[in-house]
Each structure stands twice: as C-alpha cells, then as structure tokens.
C-alpha cells in the first residue's frame, strides 16, 4: 500500500508495522541539506583563508550597564513589594501600577531598612501643629499589608501614657523616616507590649541615632518582656510567643488546658497552607529583578548627592 503526498507530489511506501516514508526523489534531500547548512553563520574569513579574530568593541560603542545582584534577604527588606498571596485578591495590572507608584514615591523620600523591633522616628506634615510638622519616635510593633496599603505602627510611652501611631508607608504626608536603632526581636509582632510594663516601650524623644557599620548583619535583641497582671487585650498564651518571660505566672489550670486544646502543631507540616500563604519563588525573583535595580540606582544617586553636599569649596585668604 502506497501513499501519495499532494504537497510534494511524491510517493511514500510503508515498511513493516511502522510507516517509514521513503522519498523517491533524491534531489529533495539534497535541497533540504543545503537549506539546513545555510542557517548556520560561519565566522568571517580573511583573504588568506584563515579565521579572522573577533573585533573588539570600540570605546565609542554603547556598553550595556551591568545589573546589580539581588541580595538574598531582599524579601525581608522590601516585603511590601510582594502581592497578597490570596488568589481572589490578585490583580496583575493593579500590582504593576502600584509598584510603579511605590518606586516613584521612593525617589521623593528615602525609606530606609527597618524591621519589627527597630526604633524609628517619622516626620510628617500636620496642619494642626504649631510648625505644621510633627515628629514621633517609637518602637515598631507591627508591619503588615502589601502594596500601597503597607503600614507600620510605632509605640512609645510619653508622660506615663502609651501612644501608638499607625503610618501608611507610602503616605505623601510623610516627609522623613529615620531609623535610630536597627534591630530585630524574637517575634514578628510586638502587640503584647500593650500589656507589658511601660519600661519596655519608653524611649527618649531626643534619642540620637546609633552608628552601624555598613554591611554588618542586623542584630537580634533577645530581650523578654514581663506582662502586667490580667486582664489582657488578647490571649497571648495561645499565640506561641517567645518574647514573654512571665506568662505562666498568670495562667490557671483551666487556661493552660484551654491553650493546649487550641494548639495546632501539625500546621508546620501543612505544605498546602504554606503554599497558599506565600508567593512562589519564581514570582519573587521576577518582581525583585524589576524593583531592585531601580532602588539600587536611586540609592547610588543619593550617596553621590551626599558627597557633593559634604564637600565645601575652600575660601581664599584675605
């Protein structure tokens, strides 16, 4: 049994159980081989027949700028650039536009690196204050949300009264963000400082910034606070917190049993829950490759401007 190909107008014959098409025209194979070899670009040859050396790019030619290497801890320094992991709230167009707005805002003011537990001072415009500007200093007890909705809370005790102010990180009324002490704590949320002794949340308003070596690792403050007697704002015994030292002093047997019943030790082995609560690593690399180059370039320009301001031209002697 033979088969006729209408495209090439040639006859094909099967061999055995598998149809192996045999081309009866030898010129077809020859033309195919010539077309395949012509796709490979051979290096230029000199008149003598030897291969020419590759041309070195001239100084006048445009050289591509080398992209900065993305640090491994980038997702901890800039967590607000990652979108919300819940799929029903994802919108690629909105996320792209928000990242552009966030980068544009970072060119206006410097948003330094800080974590929960760092001592931060924020200067913002306030139409009700005397100088139209207010400055608040405190410990960061919470960082949450993503995109333009990213916010953080600062807490301080002033005149024996606990004060907390929530700031939107990309609020246009913020004029300056200063990190006076860069450090981390044992827990990701320090909301239990509301029920702790006031000495753990008291900081001097005129506190001077601590000098830190460039490139040094961020220290972890392993201090454990002491809580005041009940009532508490939340049931801290159910949250598996490491930064509280005397939580067992105020627990009864009934509260211990209830806290044990609410424990979920199997959640650390739940891979699907971890997958639904995080962004895949491939998407993280794609986002930070887009963002970090812009942030790095902005930081270099700021450092260059600081050097220009620090340089003072010598004055001529009279």
> Domain extents for the chain?
69-106+264-301, 114-254
The pLDDT assigned to 15 comes to 46
231 prior amide bond cis, ω within 30: yes
Q: What top-level class would CATH report for the domain 114-254?
A: mainly beta
Q: State mean pLDDT over 47-54.
A: 46
pLDDT of residue 209: 93
Closest CA to 197 of 152, 251, 246: 246
Crossing angle of helices 281-310 and 92-108, rounded to 10°: 10
Per-residue pLDDT for 62 more than 80?
no
* Phi/psi-derived region of residue 49, left when phi > 0, alpha when psi is between -120 and 50, beta in every other case: left
Query: What distance, in Å, lies between the first and last C-alpha atoms of the chain?
Result: 111
Distance CA 119, CA 137 (A): 7
Nearest to residue 175, comparing CAs of 130, 136, 119? 136
- 119 has pLDDT over 80: yes
pLDDT digits (tens, 9 = 90+) for 201-258: 999 999 999 988 888 999 999 999 999 999 999 999 999 999 999 999 999 999 999 9
For residue 201, give every residue at least 6 positions away whose Cβ sits within 8 Å of its Cβ, in sequence order, or none: 138, 139, 155, 156, 157, 162, 193
Nearest residue to 118 (alpha-carbon basis) of 95, 145, 137, 99: 137
User: Cβ contacts of residue 185 below 8 Å, gap of 6+?
Assistant: 116, 117, 220, 221, 223, 243
Which pLDDT band, with edges at 50, 70 and 90, does 27 fall under?
Answer: low
Q: Is the alpha carbon torsion for 172, 176, 180, 181 positive or negative?
A: positive
Task: Count the Cβ atoms, other than its own, within 10 Å of residue 191.
Answer: 18
| Per-residue confidence (pLDDT) for residue 21, from 0 to 100 | 43
Dist. CA 151–CA 167, nearest whole Å:
6
Q: What percent of the chain has pLDDT over 90?
A: 60
Between CA 122 and CA 131 the distance in angstroms is 15
pLDDT bin (cut points 50, 70, 90) of residue 268 is confident
Indicate if the pLDDT at residue 23 is higher than 90: no
Cα gap 201→160, rounded to integer Å: 10
State the pLDDT at residue 58: 46
Q: What is the mean pLDDT of residues 179-188?
A: 95
Q: 83-106, pLDDT tens digit by residue?
A: 999 989 899 999 999 999 999 999
Looking at residue 78, what is its pLDDT?
94
pLDDT for res 307: 80
The confidence score (pLDDT) of residue 47 equals 46
Sole residue written with tokens 């490491």: 242
Query: What size, in residues, is the chain?
Result: 318
Kindly tell me if the per-residue pLDDT of 158 is higher than 80.
Answer: yes
Q: Is the pLDDT of residue 311 over 80?
A: no
pLDDT greater at residue 12 or residue 170: 170
* pLDDT exceeds cutoff 80 at 129: yes
């Amino acid at each position: 049994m033979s088969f006729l190909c209408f495209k090439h107008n040639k006859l094909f014959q099967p061999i055995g159980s598998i149809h192996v098409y045999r081309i009866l025209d030898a010129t077809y194979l020859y033309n195919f081989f010539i077309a395949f070899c012509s796709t490979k670009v051979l290096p230029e040859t000199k008149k003598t027949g030897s291969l020419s050396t590759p041309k070195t790019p001239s100084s006048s030619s445009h050289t591509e700028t080398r992209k900065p290497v993305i640090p491994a801890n980038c997702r901890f320094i800039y967590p607000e650039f990652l979108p919300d992991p819940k799929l029903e709230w994802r919108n690629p167009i909105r996320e792209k536009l928000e990242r552009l707005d966030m980068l544009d805002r970072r060119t206006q003011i410097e948003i330094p690196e800080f974590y929960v537990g760092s001592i931060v001072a924020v200067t913002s415009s306030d139409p009700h204050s005397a100088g139209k500007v207010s400055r608040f200093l405190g410990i960061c007890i919470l960082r949450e949300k993503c995109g333009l909705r990213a916010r953080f809370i600062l807490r301080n005790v002033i005149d024996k009264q606990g004060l907390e102010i929530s700031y939107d990180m990309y609020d246009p009324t913020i004029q300056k963000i200063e990190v006076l002490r860069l450090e981390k704590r044992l827990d990701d949320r320090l909301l239990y400082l509301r029920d702790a002794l006031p000495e753990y949340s008291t900081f001097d308003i005129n506190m001077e910034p601590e000098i830190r070596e460039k490139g040094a690792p961020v220290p972890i403050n392993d201090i454990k606070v002491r809580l005041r007697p009940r009532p508490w704002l939340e049931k801290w015994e159910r949250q598996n917190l490491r930064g509280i030292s005397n939580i067992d002093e105020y627990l009864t047997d009934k509260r211990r049993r209830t806290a044990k019943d609410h424990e979920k030790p199997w959640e650390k082995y739940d891979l699907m829950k971890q997958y639904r609560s995080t962004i895949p690593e491939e998407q993280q690399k794609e986002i930070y490759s887009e963002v970090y180059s812009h942030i790095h370039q902005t930081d270099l320009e700021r450092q260059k401007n600081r050097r220009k301001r620090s340089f003072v031209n010598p004055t001529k002697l009279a």
